[in-house]
A and B are shown apart, each in its own frame.
Chain A
Amino acid sequence: AQTVTQSQPEMSVQEAETVTLSCTYDTSESNYYLFWYKQPPSRQMILVIRQEAYKQQNATENRFSVNFQKAAKSFSLKISDSQLGDTAMYFCAFMKLKLVFGQGTRLTINP
């Protein structure tokens, strides 16, 4: 069974700083997708970024980018020029048959 581990329960940075959230996963599959979801206080799940495992190029979405290391089974999220609205829980997720989520990282952006 696939597992996803986020080793940072909480992180806090100042506005405009860059922050990196870590995620590792375990699978024997070769083709899969990886996602980062944002969950603000409203508890809605919002897709931030996705990465196809067969693509070597790291996905980028505006201020959000990932560092995907397939051999190491690592999938970190970098948020550049962080904004107050980035404050939320962030979940890393693996998808093959279904989404498997990590425990989440609570990110706080301070003014």
Chain B
Amino acid sequence: EPEVTQTPSHQVTQMGQEVILRCVPISNHLYFYWYRQILGQKVEFLVSFYNNEISEKSEIFDDQFSVERPDGSNFTLKIRSTKLEDSAMYFCASSEGRALDGNTEAFFGQGTRLTVV
């Protein structure tokens, strides 16, 4: 069964360093998302991406964050200068159809646990 794959599963980084979280969405999916879950809190939307551009982003997704689809398979989230409060579980998701129509399911990866020290 196709699945969304995220690497690494756990990353520890020093405050101020840049990190890149990687995701391989399901191959025929067109819509990609990043979500964040701080420990003990709910899952929060960060950004959605379609046709090589951001379609929507939340207030969390400030200038420190960027997303990219560098090739036909990977979808990355970059945090330029990490802060302690960026420590969280980061989930990548992809869907086949348009979320605007609410007619599709988002498949989640297993998450990357980012720890900023």
Contacts and interface: CB of A to CB of B under 8 A. Distances in A.
A95 B106 contact: yes
A91 B89 contact: no
A101 interface: yes
A84 interface: no
B36 to A, nearest CB: 11
Interface residues of B, number: 26
A109 interface: no
Interface centre among B33, B106, B113 (most CB of A within 10 A): B106
Interface stretch (A16-24, A42-50, A62-70, A74-82): A42-50
A3 to B, nearest CB: 11
Contacts, number: 64
Contact of A42 (B43, B48, B110): B110
Chain A interface: which size bin? Answer: 20 to 34
Given A33-B102, A43-B113, A45-B43, A98 B56 contact: yes
Contacts of A93: 43
Interface of A: 29, 31-33, 35, 37, 42-47, 50, 52-53, 91, 93, 95-104
